[in-house]
Structure 1
């Protein structure tokens, strides 16, 4: 781009066109990036859930899904489909029947952090490649 004079309307239109090109370039990659990051998060939380001894149902019950939010975007969810109330109790701790407390064991928060960082990296890469 060379130096040239342009009106405010031309400048605004040019910026809108550039942003539209970037959005088009990354927009098609975001659903796939979200799915890949969700799968990473699911793997990480399953690895963390393996610390809990038992039948293995808790670790096997983790699932991930990508849902449209109705505005052209998606939201991602990682959840335990088999034992939906248990993750909160294990992550945050809970009261014991006879008194006292069971300490929580963080295994979801680290997995979520890994998934968020992975998604951010994928989005940054898509933006860099579309410029």
Structure 2
């Protein structure tokens, strides 16, 4: 164990905390990006595929701000249809169109896993 002079103790503690924070931040950012990729792939897999254009037009967009990693999974071309297909909708002549849940189940599958992985990253220090 290295010996530290008492006047250097505060500096060494601050340095160790900074390194821990940087390691954890990088690992969490990597984990959030990986989970976003998984949600995107699962959404494309679960999306209705009459012709395949709808499922293929989902994209992952980085909406991160300083200190906050955030990705949005959305349909770039058919964004108006997502809600209608996800939850179903009323027909013009009465009745309802069947719902095809695809975005919600993909999120629900990976969100708990992301929370567990982030807790593990924080516990292990990166």
Shorter-chain TM-score range: 0.7 to 0.9
- Contact 1:94/1:102, CA 8 A, preserved across alignment: yes
Distance in 2 (CA, whole Å) between partners of 1:53 and 1:78 is: 18
Counterparts of 1:50-129 in structure 2, within 5 Å, are 52-69=48-65, 71-129=66-124
- For structure 2, the residue ranges without an aligned partner over 5 or more in a row are 1-12
Query: Structure 1: which 5+ runs fail to align?
Result: 1-13
Local SS of the residue matching 2:61: strand
SS at the partner of 1:110? helix
Q: Which moved more, 1:23-32 or 1:84-93?
A: 23-32
Q: Is the 8 A contact 1:66 1:76 kept in 2?
A: yes
C-alpha contact 1:94 1:101 (8 A) present in aligned 2:
yes
Evaluate the alpha carbon distance shift between residue 39 and residue 95 of structure 1 in structure 2; reply closer, same or farther with a 3 A threshold: same
Given that 2:88 and 2:99 are in contact with CA atoms closer than 8 Å, whether structure 1 keeps it comes out as yes
Q: Which residue is 1:47 aligned to?
A: 45
- What's the TM-score, normalizing by structure 2? 0.76
Partners of 2:80 and 2:71 in 1: CA distance: 19
Paired positions, count = 114
Match of residue 6 from structure 2: none
The question of whether the paired residues in 2 share the 8 Å contact of 1:40 and 1:115 is answered with: yes
Please give the TM-score of this superposition, normalised by the length of structure 1.
0.74
Contact 1:38/1:65, CA 8 A, preserved across alignment: no
